[in-house]
Amino acid sequence: MKRNSRLSLALHTLSHMAGEPGRVRTSADIADHAGTNPVVVRRVLGKLREAGLLTSEKGHAGGWQLAKAADSITLADVYLALDERLVAGSGGDAESSHCSVETGLQSRVAEVLDDIEESLVERLRETKITDVHPSSCSYCGS
Amino acid sequence: MKRNSRLSLALHTLSHMAGEPGRVRTSADIADHAGTNPVVVRRVLGKLREAGLLTSEKGHAGGWQLAKAADSITLADVYLALDERLVAGSGGDAESSHCSVETGLQSRVAEVLDDIEESLVERLRETKITDVHPSSCSYCGS
DNA sequence: GCCTATGTAACAATGAATGTTGCATTCGTC
DNA sequence: GACGAATGCAACATTCATTGTTACATAGGC
C-alpha cells in the first residue's frame, strides 16, 4: 500500500464486515485482502476497537468483529477513531513568528481550517458504513 | 516548516496580500514571514499564478501581487490550485486485488471518498480570502 | 552592464507512514 | 498441562512524499 491508507483500510475492512456481521476475521485474513501486513491491520483496527467500533478476541478462535450494528457506524466515527486531521493538520510550525499579523491575531488561518475540519466531520457523519458496502455484492449475497 | 504546509502558506500569504492589495512582495519577503525558503514560496505561489489568483513580475521592482479582488477568491480556488486532494487521495494502490468484492464493485470506498472530497470543496467555496484576513488587523490598519 | 527579481531543474535532507521482526500473552484444543 | 493460533506491543528498517537547498538561466529596471 501507499500513503495515508489508514482510512481506506479501515473503510474497506468495515465494509466487508458489514456484509457478514457474524464472521470473525483474523488480522492475517484482512491483511491478505488489503494487500498489507497483519501488524499494520492490528494497528489500525486497534484504534477502531478503542473507539468501540470493533472487538477483538485473542487465542485459538480469535479475531476481529463488529462491536455494533454497521448502520450505526458513520464515517465520522471511523475518521475520529483514527485521529485523522486531514484539513486542520495542515499548519506548519508557526513557532513564534515575528510577523505582527501572525502573533497579534494568533494566525486566524488555523481557526478557519479548524472550522473546515469540523464541517468535514459533519459531512462524514452523514454516511454510514452500510452506505459504503456495495449494494449488489456478489460476495456476501446481499 | 513541517508538513503539508502548502495550503497554510498559500492562505497566510493571500491573507497578508488582502490587507495591502497594492503592495508588491518578493519571494524572499514572503519566505521570511513564513519561515521558509524563497524557492518553496515560488513553487507554491506559482501554482496560484497558474490558477489566475496571483501575478508575478520579474526584474528590478518585481514580485507577487493579487491578480483579482481578495473577496473574489475562495478557499476552494486555492485548494484546487494546489491540487490538494486531502480526502480522496487516501486510497492505497488497490492494484488488481483478488478480492471479489473489490474487483467486482471497483471499490466503492473510492467513490464515497470522492463524494466527500467534493463536499469539502463545496464547503471551501463558502469562505473567501477576506474572511481569513483578521478583522482587527493592527498591521494593515484595516 | 549591473543589480534584482522570478523560473526551473537537480539534488539533499527531513520525517511521517508503512513494513518487518521478535516476543509476550491469551485462549481454545488435544 | 503442553501445543498451536491468535492478538498486543515494542523496536527497528524501509519507503516515499514533502520540504529545503544550491545552482543557473532569464527578464527587467536602473
Among A116, A11, A112, A23, residue whose Cα is nearest residue A66: A23
The Cα B57–Cα B64 span in angstroms is 7
In this structure, is residue B1 part of a structural domain? no
Model pLDDT for residues B34-47, shown as the tens digit of each residue: 999 999 999 999 99
The parent domain of residue B16 ranges over 6-132
- The whole-angstrom distance between B94's CA and the closest CA on chain A is 8
Task: Write down the pLDDT at residue B91.
Answer: 73
Residue among B5, B90, B99 whose CB faces A8 most closely: B90
Task: Write down the pLDDT at residue B68.
Answer: 97
In this structure, is residue A10 part of a structural domain? yes
The Cα B128–Cα B36 span in angstroms is 25
Tell me which chain B residues have a C-beta less than 8 angstroms from the C-beta of A132: 108-109, 112
In this structure, is residue A104 part of a structural domain? yes
Predicted confidence (pLDDT) at residue B21 exceeds the cutoff of 70: yes
In this structure, is residue B62 part of a structural domain? yes
Instruction: Give the residue with greater pLDDT, B61 vs B2.
Output: B61
- Sign of the Cα torsion A106, A110, A115, A121 reads negative
Predicted confidence (pLDDT) at residue B142 exceeds the cutoff of 60: no
CATH code for the domain of B31: 1.10.10.10
Best to test chain A binding among B4, B41, B74, B86 (most A CBs inside 10 Å):
B86
C-alpha cell at A2: 501507499
Model pLDDT for residues A26-48, shown as the tens digit of each residue: 999 999 999 999 999 999 999 99
In this structure, is residue B140 part of a structural domain? no
Number of domains in chain A: 1
- Chain D bases under 7 Å from protein CB? 4-11, 16-23, 26-30
Residue among B1, B4, B99 whose CB faces A93 most closely: B1
Model pLDDT for residues B76-122, shown as the tens digit of each residue: 999 999 999 999 987 766 565 666 666 656 678 999 999 999 999 99
Model pLDDT for residues A86-142, shown as the tens digit of each residue: 999 887 665 556 666 666 566 789 999 999 999 999 999 999 999 998 766 665 655
CB-based contact A89 B123, cutoff 8 Å: no
**Phi-psi map region of B56: left, alpha, beta (phi>0 left; psi -120 to 50 alpha):** beta
Q: What is the mean pLDDT of chain B?
A: 89
The Cα A134–Cα B26 span in angstroms is 52
